[in-house]
Structure 1
């Protein structure tokens, strides 16, 4: 093993013998496991790669390609039939929901148990308990038996425990796909932090966007063999070429957006009442002094139907009710869209759109309407809404936040046809022309025509 590698896999193979019956298996044992009476099933063969300290390496491939078997070999759960694996460092593996948990114990008690099983001193779990509880964010369930947990709660607890045990190598197998959008955003942010600390990460997923975003390299498995090891973008391209996986269907056609028509404007008082009644605000996500308060926010289709899902390339309307609690000299209002990796996909304010609001006095009210066309790839997105004072600030794109609500939604963007209107992260409006120059016919061609 080289000094810079923490995992080295050389000529790795795993064979599972398949016997026709229990009697054939026993007879094979009695013969000293000599050939005969079974079939060889090589799940993996000829696997070679190495992983350096602090790298994040994705393991991708369709179902049955050997991904989970490879991880079990690396963690020592299985032993190779041929080849070798060398691991330098403490490995924690989040392979299956609830693995290692005692379902009769509470989440808190399982934190103590996990720390003890992994050889930590008795006081370690106590010192990190508050951090683990805060990150898991499962409320009162932290002190309830694990057998009462949903699959999402299992993941939250397990990932939180492993994250704060600061492993040298962390292995995650599809677990993050179970959590909701907001937990996924928190996890991907945490993954970037543990990578920065030098933790090596093996990430197994069918989520090609996640592989592209967080991995430094990727290993593509196909039929038990590694067909590509290298840059994530190139590995994903080879994956799609080999599998040609169709896009999943979205919600029913009834959920698709009706032809765009401007929403009917109600009288201001009635409009504000409706916004408050149908508000999507979550007070727990609020930041700022509240000088220009967002008192309510409604999300609906052009037809006025409240919705948190939209067909790709169709619009949603965001109606914001505002109230000033102090004099605002240069008020501004904005909206932002974040993907599940917590990356800003799009942000805009009234100032960006060229609209300057008049100064507002204490007690003044306002309604602001944003109509966003979600020309982005299918998936879940969160919304942030904010008001700001632009007067006296150097950054005209941000200003000084007065009221900000993060992680609203999530908004589900779906697509229900085999062919996407575009591919990639977002639809950049494209104009095109096709020219087919006329070619003069040769004498021979003219004769053929006649």
Structure 2
């Protein structure tokens, strides 16, 4: 990247806060250490340091879309505030080039006593627009916000959704060079979110740089090219959005395993047995306890905690996989109606997916499933053996329950998933998973093995025979 080719440059950024136990300690810190320095003594400290962000560096090119992901408290909002200049860094530097529009907190910069109309003028002029420019664009702002007569009511009477509507409508009308969006859009209704994402995509096509923060992984995958994952104020990974989101899912899985291990600690101590860092949930009614005990025993041997868990998972499989172990996906393949290997399908064909698995434990309560994503990273469909089991339990279809199948240690088995091809022309990725389901309703799930990019297939059209546009065939018919 050339020296002039960036919109945002962050170098060695860190933010430290001083935490005081009592107001008296704050006063002591203000007075005593300076006096000690004057007398040549070692200054005392009456506070403890909390680093909300530490040693963060990256560059974002002009016109690039960049995502920030991480759990609550990981430092995402602090990083955005440092970039926008609302707080000053303790160490490091931030450089931005161009006009910055930021949507960080609901109604930030709004006066609650003023009407929505007054706040539009106030907020827009604070962002650098003139009164005449606001006059010229006011109708567009009002139309985008779509809050009707409430525009002339005090902002303090607005709901959170109305606040973010008005704030976003103002921000996108100042024609920013850099648009920074935090989780605020999550409070909007579905129609408003659709309008917002459409506007963001229009800005991206116009060369605007986007810095996007969200817990919605599909939004991050769709809107951004690169991303950074934060944990405890530090960088965990940075790279393509798809790779960072995979690392994020691994991190969430790892922390969830540690949480359940903590819950199981008293029980383990009572029984004087070793604690499994990622135990399976208690079995559902009617399910043998031995299955859960077998799974827990296996995981206690195979699944270390903390950073070791991440390394062990990566070592056992590959960088596209994660899970507690015990049962694994060995391979995934796509086949045609006759069972022959096939990677290209047409509307009306039958798609058959074979998932080969191996178990190292005795267990039941297993679900084998897939998720299908388009080339753009959009989730098209997810389904598994448990979905069919739920239909059987509801009396909607007949058959045996895979969920009750007893799987033995060392057993190799496979599952066929079959469907008609109703997908539009595209390249599709199959993600495969095996999960332990304590209850047959997805309410108590533990991922044993998840595999991204397990297989790929393509759909094409025979345009002279059968053609439709979009992502799925609705089998529409015409009448006259």
Identify the TM-score tier after normalising by the shorter chain.
0.5 to 0.7
Question: 2-side partners of 1:182 and 1:415: how far apart?
Answer: 29
Match of 2:141 in 1: 132
Aligned mate of 1:96, from 84, 89, 105: 105
In the TM superposition, 1:344-359 aligns within 5 A as none
Aligned mate of 2:71, from 59, 62, 66: 62
In the TM superposition, 1:121-160 aligns within 5 A as 121-160=130-169
SS across alignment from 1:9: strand
Q: 1:222 and 2:231 equivalent?
A: yes
Question: 2-side partners of 1:177 and 1:423: how far apart?
Answer: 27
Question: 2-side partners of 1:3 and 1:208: how far apart?
Answer: 31
Question: 2-side partners of 1:419 and 1:136: how far apart?
Answer: 42
In the TM superposition, 1:186-197 aligns within 5 A as 186-197=195-206
Report the Cα offset of residue 120 of structure 1: 1.4
SS across alignment from 1:46: strand
Query: Could you report, residue by residue, the CA deviation over 1:105-157 in whole angstroms, capped at 9, with x for unpaired residues?
Result: 22222111112212212111111111111111112212222111111111111
Is the CA contact (8 Å cut-off) linking 2:10 and 2:95 kept in structure 1?
yes
Match of 1:163 in 2: 172
Provide the aligned length of Structure 1 versus Structure 2: 275
Query: Could you report, residue by residue, the CA deviation over 1:263-319 in whole angstroms, capped at 9, with x for unpaired residues?
Result: xxxxxxxxxxxxxxxxxxxxxxxxxxxxxxxxxxxxxxxxxxxxxxxxxxxxxxxxx
Pick closer, same or farther for the CA change 1:416–1:240 going to 2, 3 Å.
Answer: same
Match of 1:8 in 2: 9
SS across alignment from 1:120: coil
Report the Cα offset of residue 35 of structure 1: 4.8
Question: 2-side partners of 1:172 and 1:64: how far apart?
Answer: 17
Aligned mate of 1:208, from 214, 217, 220: 217
TM-score (norm 2): 0.52
Is the CA contact (8 Å cut-off) linking 1:169 and 1:202 kept in structure 2?
yes
Match of 2:445 in 1: 418
Is the CA contact (8 Å cut-off) linking 2:218 and 2:379 kept in structure 1?
no
Return 184-193 or 26-35, whichever deviates more: 26-35
Match of 1:71 in 2: 80
Query: Could you report, residue by residue, the CA deviation over 1:144-195 in whole angstroms, capped at 9, with x for unpaired residues?
Result: 2211111111111110110111111111110111001111111111100011
Question: 1-side partners of 2:193 and 2:158: how far apart?
Answer: 18
In the TM superposition, 1:20-39 aligns within 5 A as 20-30=21-31, 31-32=33-34, 34-39=43-48
Question: 2-side partners of 1:160 and 1:12: how far apart?
Answer: 31
Question: 2-side partners of 1:138 and 1:417: how far apart?
Answer: 41
SS across alignment from 1:78: coil
Pick closer, same or farther for the CA change 1:203–1:415 going to 2, 3 Å.
Answer: farther
TM-score (norm 1): 0.55
SS across alignment from 2:445: coil
In the TM superposition, 1:14-413 aligns within 5 A as 14-30=15-31, 31-32=33-34, 34-244=43-253
Query: Could you report, residue by residue, the CA deviation over 1:35-76 in whole angstroms, capped at 9, with x for unpaired residues?
Result: 511111111111010111111111110111111111111111
Pick closer, same or farther for the CA change 1:65–1:208 going to 2, 3 Å.
Answer: same
Question: 2-side partners of 1:216 and 1:201: how far apart?
Answer: 10
Query: Could you report, residue by residue, the CA deviation over 1:193-228 in whole angstroms, capped at 9, with x for unpaired residues?
Result: 011111111111111111001011111001111111
Is the CA contact (8 Å cut-off) linking 1:115 and 1:124 kept in structure 2?
no
Match of 1:374 in 2: none
Question: 2-side partners of 1:38 and 1:175: how far apart?
Answer: 33
Question: 1-side partners of 2:184 and 2:63: how far apart?
Answer: 20
SS across alignment from 2:215: coil
SS across alignment from 1:227: strand
Is the CA contact (8 Å cut-off) linking 2:8 and 2:97 kept in structure 1?
yes
Q: Which has the higher helix share?
A: 2
Report the Cα offset of residue 21 of structure 1: 2.1
SS across alignment from 1:16: strand
Is the CA contact (8 Å cut-off) linking 1:98 and 1:158 kept in structure 2?
yes
- List gaps (5 residues or longer) in structure 1: 247-340, 347-396, 398-413, 431-450
Question: 2-side partners of 1:130 and 1:418: how far apart?
Answer: 49
- List gaps (5 residues or longer) in structure 2: 38-42, 257-375, 382-423, 425-440, 458-480
Query: What's the RMSD between the two structures over aligned residues?
Result: 3.6
Pick closer, same or farther for the CA change 1:133–1:17 going to 2, 3 Å.
Answer: same
